[in-house]
Structure 1
Amino acid sequence: MKKHWLGCCLLVGSLYNHANGSDSEYIYDPAIEQVFYQSITTQVDSMAVATRVARLSHLFMGVPYVGGNAGEGQSGQFDKDPLIRFDVFDCTTYVETVLAGIQSVSAASFKDNLIDIRYQHGQVNFVQRNHFPSLDWLPNNREILQDITDQVAPTQFQQASTQIDRAAWYRHLSAKSIACEQGCEPILEKLHGTGQHFQVVQADIPYVPLTAVFVGPDKQVNQALLDRIPSGSVINMVRPDWALKKWIGTNLNVSHQGFVLRQNGRLILRHASVTHQKVVDEDFIDYFAQYDASSSLQGFNLQSIRL
């Protein structure tokens, strides 16, 4: 079962049925696995970060999109989806896999790096998972990510704030959220109770408004701004105070993640796409041009990678 419209996979957990042996800790596409691990073990120290990102992220082109596909493995208390997999991605697991890969020199170091990115303090459990990009995922990965939004749009960037009600989000989690198929009631009761100590917290994230990219009534592209975006950056799609409370228990302000790459003089967005249901490249300008002023998507946040 594929996940619904919500773009960021970690927010609602897995809706993926345990097929193809997905009740184990690992699921690999053998062909991709071999190329991936060979690639990370032959990385050159002097290779630019953007080159590493472009090379590793390209290995997964065309891999299917399945929302909420990752969990804590068979030993996980709540979500028993695989911890590591290369056969499917959603927006965040794709970004995490590439980020972990560019830091790694072996399969063992890849697993450790992936865990450090996905879980607070590297503790593999549902509660410690970085579920919310603006509240958990970005702040807890500051060692490898640096926010450069204000450098790209120094006089135009804005702040997107929202109140994240993590306790209400926990109460909205269902059996599908954790891919539970039988004996789910006691598991859900415990899961719902586990999150009730959380307080409502304000989450802020800076963003480049689309009005700074498409300028004036004729929507002229601000090329000077685009030229300041480094190739290999992590991009987060920002929807200020995104009104999702009645569906998932809380509002959000980030809906999707991916990479920005510069190829042949133009910017592309490389991401695990809900629309295309696979990992794809899209022209950066074309992608954002489809959103008008009435859309909840108002801009994007940018993070450079530091190794």
Structure 2
Amino acid sequence: MTLPVAHSAPAAATIDAVTARQIDESVALRAASSGRSKGELIEMLSARFLGTPYQANMLVGSATQPEQLVIDFRRVDCFTYLDYVEALSRSTDRDQFVANLIDTRYAEGRVEFRQRKHFFSDWAHTPKVAADDITAALSPAAVTVAKHLNAKAGGGTYLPGVPVVDRAISYLPSGTVDQNVVGQLRTGDYIGAYTNEAGLDVTHVGIFVMTPNGPVFRNASSLVENNKVVDSPFADYLRTIPGIVVFRAR
């Protein structure tokens, strides 16, 4: 069973019954939570995905294949997970969710491959801005690197049909993320795993959540032992990556 969703965008979404029910339950919960902060909403809504199976490359579209508006809560990759949570945090009904998802995932609200926010830093640099980059403000140890996003070190691009974007990326080396830094993080902050690889800003994304047992990195994990949305101890995750990029939702 599928439920078509009409939208003014050039691509229409087809939503399966499981996803439709989860959207309706989530937006109803959001609508009843008017007193919560943005971070609390992100935590509450992201928790509903815990245990959801991981599936790589959920989005459909390329320079030669028409972009599709994918909305599927039955399985997620790390980026679609954040797309859904951010859009849900702004929505109180299904139509509003679809519109907000388009604005979160695509620049200028156009469902096109070239307009897709392919890089994590696009969230803070392309319309409509979903979050603010607070990385450099968290510590004087922040490092800023000039990146040529989408350009491979040996020539060519990761995403044919998408232009190379010159962008300064700030990150905190993992060894500098001390208690002072962690103390400034808030539940609901979006965390990117910085990469030294040319042409990329991050290799993975998730959500910072402070729990009674300490901070966790809530993420759609592709690790064999997980292969689903999980809460990983934040300190443990830090030890596996070069550094972090921190965005705070608007």
* Shorter-chain TM-score tier: 0.7 to 0.9
Q: Show the counterpart of 1:268.
A: 216
Of 25, 32, 35, 1:38 maps to 25
Matching of residues 292-303 of structure 1 within 5 Å: 297-303=241-247
CA 1:48 to 1:137, structure 2 compared with 1: closer, same or farther past 3 Å?
closer
Query: Are the equivalent residues in 2 in contact too, given 1:64–1:88 (CA < 8 A)?
Result: yes
Deviations 1:205-259 (A, max 9, x none): 111111212xxxxxxxx2222111111100111113x04xxxxxxx212111110
Of 3, 6, 28, 2:16 maps to 28
Q: Show the counterpart of 2:9.
A: none
Q: Show the counterpart of 1:168.
A: 156
Of 257, 272, 284, 2:205 maps to 257
Query: Are the equivalent residues in 2 in contact too, given 1:160–1:253 (CA < 8 A)?
Result: no
Q: How much does 1:47 deviate?
A: 1.1
CA 1:34 to 1:98, structure 2 compared with 1: closer, same or farther past 3 Å?
same
Distance 1:103 1:227 in 2: 26
Query: Are the equivalent residues in 2 in contact too, given 1:157–1:207 (CA < 8 A)?
Result: yes
CA 1:66 to 1:29, structure 2 compared with 1: closer, same or farther past 3 Å?
farther
Corresponding position: 1:212 with 2:200? no
Query: Are the equivalent residues in 1 in contact too, given 2:144–2:171 (CA < 8 A)?
Result: yes
Deviations 1:131-176 (A, max 9, x none): 1223x343125633111112322x111113322346933xx66xxx
Query: Which one has the largest radius of gyration?
Result: 1
Q: Write the letter of the residue equivalent to 2:60.
A: G
Of 228, 231, 243, 1:278 maps to 228
Distance 1:82 1:109 in 2: 15
Distance 1:80 1:150 in 2: 34
Q: Show the counterpart of 2:6.
A: none
Q: How much does 1:53 deviate?
A: 0.8
Q: Show the counterpart of 1:107.
A: 94
Q: Show the counterpart of 1:227.
A: 183
Q: Show the counterpart of 2:124.
A: 138
- Give the alignment's Cα RMSD to 1 decimal: 2.6
Query: Are the equivalent residues in 2 in contact too, given 1:232–1:261 (CA < 8 A)?
Result: yes
CA 1:28 to 1:270, structure 2 compared with 1: closer, same or farther past 3 Å?
farther
Distance 1:282 1:29 in 2: 30
Q: Show the counterpart of 1:305.
A: 249
Q: How much does 1:50 deviate?
A: 1.7
Q: Provide TM-score, normalisation by structure 1.
A: 0.68
Distance 2:109 2:128 in 1: 14
Distance 1:165 1:271 in 2: 24
Q: Provide TM-score, normalisation by structure 2.
A: 0.83
CA 1:116 to 1:81, structure 2 compared with 1: closer, same or farther past 3 Å?
closer
Q: Write the letter of the residue equivalent to 1:63.
A: T
* Runs of 4+ residues deviating >6 angstroms: none
Q: Write the letter of the residue equivalent to 1:158.
A: V
SS in 2 for 1:168: coil
Of 62, 84, 87, 1:97 maps to 84
Q: Show the counterpart of 1:176.
A: none
SS in 1 for 2:34: coil
Query: Are the equivalent residues in 1 in contact too, given 2:50–2:229 (CA < 8 A)?
Result: yes
Corresponding position: 1:156 with 2:120? no
Identity %: 28
Distance 1:138 1:101 in 2: 18
Q: Write the letter of the residue equivalent to 1:164.
A: L
Query: Are the equivalent residues in 1 in contact too, given 2:54–2:220 (CA < 8 A)?
Result: yes
Distance 2:53 2:17 in 1: 12
CA 1:91 to 1:70, structure 2 compared with 1: closer, same or farther past 3 Å?
same
Distance 2:128 2:113 in 1: 21
Q: How much does 1:303 deviate?
A: 1.0
May I ask how many residue pairs the two structures share in their alignment? 232
